[in-house]
Chains A and B, each alone.
Chain A
Amino acid sequence: MTARDLIPIAVLTILAALLPLVVTSSPVLNFLVFMLIVALGAQGWNILGGFGGQFSFGHAAFFGTGAYATAILQLHYGVNAWAGLVLATVAGGVVGWVIGFLSFRSGLRGSYFALVTLAFAEVFRILANAASFTGGAAGLLIKLDVRAANLQFDDRAVFYWLVLAFVAAVLLLTRWIQRSRFGAQLVAVRENEDAAKALGVDSLKVKLRAIALSGAVTALSGCLYAQYFLYIDANIAYGSWISVELLLAPIIGGVGTVFGPVVGALTLHGLGEIAKQFAGRIPGIDLIVFGGVLVLAVAFARGGILGLLERLRDRGRGMVTRGPKEVSHAGR
């Protein structure tokens, strides 16, 4: 990685880190933390779905595993919350690898893979809803004990910085993937699996690595969710709402790009919040906005917001250097 790869990540992280110095209202910080948690989970989805082209409809399986793992470890086994965070992340990676092993080994691709992941998430949701050690339908309540050692903070801003640090770390991870052999092979598998195999790419191994990484990152976001709200149940942790959130954000922001998931999460939740402010009476207005944005993105911005910006930039550059005649050609 070169300085040019790192500078945008550093600048954005620093700017985002300064935000709590300006904004101190609790609802706004709440919104920002939640938005960043979604962005983090979406970054996980993007590693597998964006770079690897394996569209999962069931990333709730990983989100929920992260959330339940940390909650159960703390409640039943007295594990420290920070250790719980690490173990939850590892658990997400393991669950990812297992689901990947079962589905990729049998050659599932495309919509079949999507359906299988959806099924896994649903099975987990039903099991978590029924088993006693997951608290059944009543869910799990992490004990309120505000100490840094317990990963609970007096000041919401501290939690915001913590989540932001993880988002920044995953931005770096994603940038590394983009610049590494692993990333090149992963993208090759997405574009054409047979051609990749002929060039010596072990496509099964590459996909397994991707889903394990993806599961770990999304589990981390689930763990942070549990730690922030201190309550989870099966419909929150393993619910299909989170699967949809996690794939919507990268699709809106830009699939297979480093910043796509963050941009998408910010856009969706930002617009959703604004809509709520203006039409607070109408329940579900933010979801209507989500739907509208998705339709717009699919119709006008294939490649998401970042893809759209890039095309506009290329078009602008084309005007300057090549003259307008070739622009339409280049813009295809």
Chain B
Amino acid sequence: MLAVEGVSKRFGGLMAVDSATLSLQPGGIIGLIGPNGAGKTTLFSMISGFIAPTDGRIRFEGTDITAEEPHRRAERGIGRTFQIVQPFAGLTVCENIAVGAYLRHAKRADAIAKAREVARRVGLGAELDRPAGGLTVAGRKRLELARALATEPKLLLLDEVLAGLNPSEIRDIIPVIRGIRDEGVTILMIEHVMQAVMNLCERVYVLAQGRMIAEGPPAVVCADTRVIEAYLGHGAAARLKAEGAAHG
């Protein structure tokens, strides 16, 4: 459904993303992991249309969308959340979500009904009339998720929706994400919380220094020498193995 073909982004002298390739089939949760500064968010911004790639192509359901505006991609069914939450602070929770719902529901009553339904699903049902600016961090993350979900996406890009949450909050939100997948929405998520990645993702891509270095089931990828070295530095894999042998 989504095909990222050799996409690159250069910021001046910095190659933020270097001919990254990624392809998603409909359904399932796919992870995108990598150390800080690997270019994950930049790649997300290119898929959702906020940054134009220097090179390469992006296809969604067979159509080339490389040059399309973000709002057109949202219409096609690509929803995204922002790593740094971007609530409409002056509006209530319900009004925030309704902006997303208006994409597919022109009438106010329908959009509000949709917003309420989505809010209940992500656990914001009790906060509908509160100003979005007054939500806790966990609440804002849920709001990001709810707004994106209200656009009724086919593909949902989640940029670190679990970051900044405590373990019990993470435990609460994981079933919500799984529920979204069960309804047939394909999810691509950037995540640092490995427990969640292991738990949720069927497949992960690993990006390091702008390059896609590994791909596969999470358990396999985490044992991959290149991945361990990307996180822990050159030689770390060998050292770990030696330590493991000594203890074993």
Interface presence of A181 (CB below 8 A): yes
Complex interface: chain B residues within 8 A of A194 (CB): 50, 82, 86
Our pick among B90, B102, B150, B151 for the contact of A185 (Cβ within 8 Å) is B102
Max chain A CB contacts within 10 Å: which of B99, B102, B106, B107?
A: B99
Give residues of chain A (175-221) contacting chain B, Cβ–Cβ below 8 Å: 179-181, 184-185, 187-188, 191-192, 194-203
Complex interface: chain A residues within 8 A of B107 (CB): 181
Number of A residues near B (Cβ < 8 Å) is 19
User: Are A191 and B106 in touch, CB under 8 angstroms?
Assistant: no
- Complex Cα gap A187–B103 (Å): 15
Interface presence of B196 (CB below 8 A): no
B37 to chain A, nearest CB (A): 21
Give residues of chain B (101-139) contacting chain A, Cβ–Cβ below 8 Å: 102-103, 106-108, 111
Number of B residues near A (Cβ < 8 Å) is 30
Interface presence of B48 (CB below 8 A): yes
Max chain B CB contacts within 10 Å: which of A185, A188, A202?
A: A188
Complex interface: chain B residues within 8 A of A187 (CB): 88, 90-91, 95
- Complex Cα gap A187–B95 (Å): 10
Interface presence of B70 (CB below 8 A): yes
User: Are B88 and A188 in touch, CB under 8 angstroms?
Assistant: yes
Interface presence of B10 (CB below 8 A): no
Complex interface: chain B residues within 8 A of A202 (CB): 69, 71
User: Are B147 and A199 in touch, CB under 8 angstroms?
Assistant: yes
Interface presence of B154 (CB below 8 A): no
Given the known interface contacts A191-B90, A192-B87, the answer about A181 and B102 at a Cβ–Cβ threshold of 8 Å is yes
Our pick among B48, B79, B87, B99 for the contact of A201 (Cβ within 8 Å) is B99
Complex interface: chain B residues within 8 A of A185 (CB): 99, 102
User: Are A198 and B88 in touch, CB under 8 angstroms?
Assistant: no
User: Are B111 and A203 in touch, CB under 8 angstroms?
Assistant: no
- Complex Cα gap A199–B80 (Å): 8
Q: Which residues of A contact B (CB under 8 A)?
A: 179-181, 184-185, 187-188, 191-192, 194-203
Q: Which residues of B contact A (CB under 8 A)?
A: 48, 50, 69-71, 74-75, 79-80, 82, 86-91, 95, 98-100, 102-103, 106-108, 111, 147-148, 150-151
30 contacting pairs across A/B (C-beta < 8 A): A180-B108, A181-B106, A181-B107, A181-B108, A184-B95, A184-B102, A187-B95, A191-B89, A192-B88, A192-B89, A194-B50, A195-B82, A195-B86, A195-B87, A195-B88, A195-B147, A196-B88, A196-B99, A197-B69, A197-B70, A197-B71, A198-B48, A198-B79, A198-B80, A199-B103, A199-B150, A199-B151, A200-B74, A200-B103, A201-B99
A184-B98, A187-B88, A200-B151 given; name 18 further pairs at CB < 8 Å: A180-B108, A181-B106, A181-B107, A184-B95, A184-B99, A184-B102, A184-B111, A187-B90, A191-B91, A194-B82, A195-B147, A197-B70, A198-B70, A198-B79, A198-B80, A198-B82, A199-B103, A199-B151
